[in-house]
Chain A
Amino acid sequence: MKLIAGVDIGNSTTEVCIGEIRENGSFRFVSGASRMTTGTKGTLPNVFGIKQALLDALGAVNLPLSALSLVRLNEAAPVIGDTAMETITETIITESSMIGHDPSTPAGAGEAVGELIFLENLWRGKPGVPYIVAVDSRFSYEEAASRLNQFIPELDIKGLILQADEAVLVENRLSIRIPIVDEVRHIRQIPEGKMAAIEVALPGTSIRMLSNPYGIATLLGLNAEETRMVTPIAKSLIGNRSAVVIRTPHGNIQENVLPAGEITFHGDTDRTVNIDAGADRIMEERSAAGEIRDIEGQNNTNVGNMFKRIRTGMADVAGDGGEEIRITDILAVDTLAPVTIPGALAGETCMEKAVGIAAMVRTRHLPMQKIAERLEEELHVKAVVAGVEAVMASLGAMTTPGTRLPLAILDMGGGSTDAAVLEADGTVRTTHQAGAGELVTMLIRTELGLESRQTAEQIKKYPMGKVESLFHMRLENGAMRFFEESIDPRYFGRVVLLAPGEMLRIEEDITMEKIMDVRRDAKRKVFVRNAIRALTAVAPDHDLRKIPNVVLVGGSAEDFEIPEMLTQALSEYRIVCGRGNIRGTEGPRNAVATGLLLSYLGAGKDR
């Protein structure tokens, strides 16, 4: 009897698979395990993780390390992925000219126009002039209401802006009905004496006048040129429940289009594309350029800096220095990023157009041989580097029930999406494309404006629910889940992520629907696009329809919705596509490790 182990070192996890060969030559899988990869893939610190994973797998069947007679390592694909994001538009409001936010309880409804005046200066007000009154939070709601009621008979008060969260309290004590916006943090920055328009939406709707450039023009009496200038304001107010627009005649509100810059692909043909053109055009040029040697960004532009950052980051990872870092593929996606508007009065953000890019660097061969040597020293077991990752993955994927040759695999990991086609005659074509899980995480994080990358990662991984009472929650698919014990009040009314064994609270105040939209959209943008791109590259004659079945393997294939998205998208090409089930038991994991064992058998008994 002989025990051999297959070891697959990935970007994020190290997987092992252990098999037994009997004297009569029959073969049986014994055990498997997976561990976090220690250190960067393909470097010596990996040894520690490999050892742990081997101990796990052997421990499960009560065998010592010394029982192993051979360890087979994969030749890891020499690609490293990285991501970057750059906004390409920017709204700048140099004089505070707008307030637009969603206080939870504004009061009144409708729109009003008037001259801005602070409550304490109201005694100076002139009859017949329409006023919008700004109230500092040092006035209590009772004080504010009684002062206002005193002036209401003589002055024409049209609307209120409050600093405190007291709109309803003030409204209930006023003798007239006017729109009131509250929770305006920087109320002291309001320029007194300027004209302002204020709008509070009817319940259940969002504002209509102030989110429309012509609406602002109507209320504030603007000419065509001025209307053009307020368009970015209108744009950033869309969807709010209340808003204030203040007319500052010299208010320089502008939408600066930053010099976004050009990307140049050096490939079979050189192609240049401006990043402004959007992700679709960039990707068209990318495929028109054919086999890529390197990709560059124009110097001193946003995209130039972005590529420089990626290169520096990669140089750190790739390590061995001296070698030139060449970016061999990118995936660009359009996205929106909330950016705080400088000078806004309630901390408003504006959704700016942005492009997210995943880039991939092909390094020299990773020093796998060194890892094998170190492993041999530490374990006193023979270790060899055997087989190319993609080929091993294909072999492992073949153990999925219901597959046949030619078989394509799609390995979706953290940094790159790899595809391989294994033909009936044994030839294998492979490709590595930039863009996978990491890019999805980045898109989720920027589009939702999340503080921590970890929250974005968790949103990507786990389904959600909203805690609706202390005893039940509504899941994202509409189902209800009840609890015996009351849920901790800290979770009440919140969107929570259902991680195995615990609930994770999302700190940001974002609705479940919004999170779900962003999450699905990000996955679709990255994975569906990349799957089609990668499969086209390896398909016979680059024709997708010539691939009969695709097996999804790798970390992202374990996702709770990505495989379904791909199954749907690829069914258009009449491809059978689904999550792999390695050896009929392992799910999409362990394909490479399994392939390493199978290739050992296939290579004959002479070894």
Chain B
Amino acid sequence: MIVNRPSIMIYTDHPDKDLLKEICAGIEEEGVLFQIVSGNGDVDELAHQAAAESMLGSGIGITGQQAAMQMSPLPKGHNVFELIQPTLRQCRDLGANSARAVKKMPFRSLAGGSQ
């Protein structure tokens, strides 16, 4: 990945690999670039930093089985979406939503998501 490209930032701290992969797939399907950076902190901290760092103002934080999506300039802790032990489907949709935030498209519902 080339730095300085307009991309969605994903800040990770020992993330669940499968969940991370689904998040990335969600962003890729929507045709937006992303960049994975390892950091440390809780999920609120990671997501907030990611959004602040992203040129597009959209970021995701993931640690273990917790993921959150943030948009700048929302304050830390005010996550747009938050998932704890999500399904793969929910992660795909979380990734898609971070891209949809950039594309100004309506979010998908993350509720229930079984599959």
Contacts and interface: CB of A to CB of B under 8 A. Distances in A.
A141 B28 CA distance: 12
B49 to A, nearest CB: 18
Contacts of B101: 492
A486 interface: yes
B25 A141 contact: yes
Interface in A101-118: 104-105
Contact of A169 (B28, B105, B107): B28
A488 to B, nearest CB: 10
B106 A492 contact: yes
| Residue of A167, A468, A470, A489 with most partner-chain B CB within 10 A | A489
B80 A104 contact: no
Interface in A47-105: 104-105
Nearest to B73: A471
Contact of B107 (A104, A172, A493, A509): A493
What secondary structure prevails in chain A residues at the interface with B?
A: loop
Interface in B8-50: 25, 28-31
A271 B100 CA distance: 57
A494 B30 CA distance: 18
Interface in B69-102: 71, 74, 78, 80-81, 100-101
Nearest to B75: A486
Nearest to A492: B107
Contact of B31 (A105, A486, A509): A105
Contact of A470 (B74, B81, B103, B105): B74
B79 to A, nearest CB: 9
B31 A168 contact: yes
| Contact-size category for B | 10 to 19
A105 B30 contact: yes
A411 interface: no
Given A169-B25, A489-B81, A468 B31 contact: no
A189 to B, nearest CB: 21
Nearest to B106: A493
Contact of A493 (B28, B29, B81, B100): B100
A465 to B, nearest CB: 13
Interface in A442-490: 468-470, 486, 489-490
Contacts of B100: 493
A543 B28 CA distance: 66
Contacts of B29: 105, 165-169
A104 B106 CA distance: 11
A104 B107 CA distance: 13
Contacts of B78: 486
A213 to B, nearest CB: 32
B106 A509 contact: yes
Nearest to B74: A486
Given A470-B74, A486-B74, A168 B104 contact: no
A489 B78 CA distance: 11
Interface of A: 104-105, 141, 165-169, 172, 468-470, 486, 489-490, 492-494, 509
9 pairs of A and B residues whose beta carbons are closest in the complex = A493-B106, A493-B105, A489-B80, A168-B29, A494-B106, A169-B29, A468-B104, A493-B104, A168-B31
Interface of B: 25, 28-31, 71, 74, 78, 80-81, 100-101, 103-107
5 contacts: A104-B105, A141-B25, A168-B28, A492-B104, A493-B105
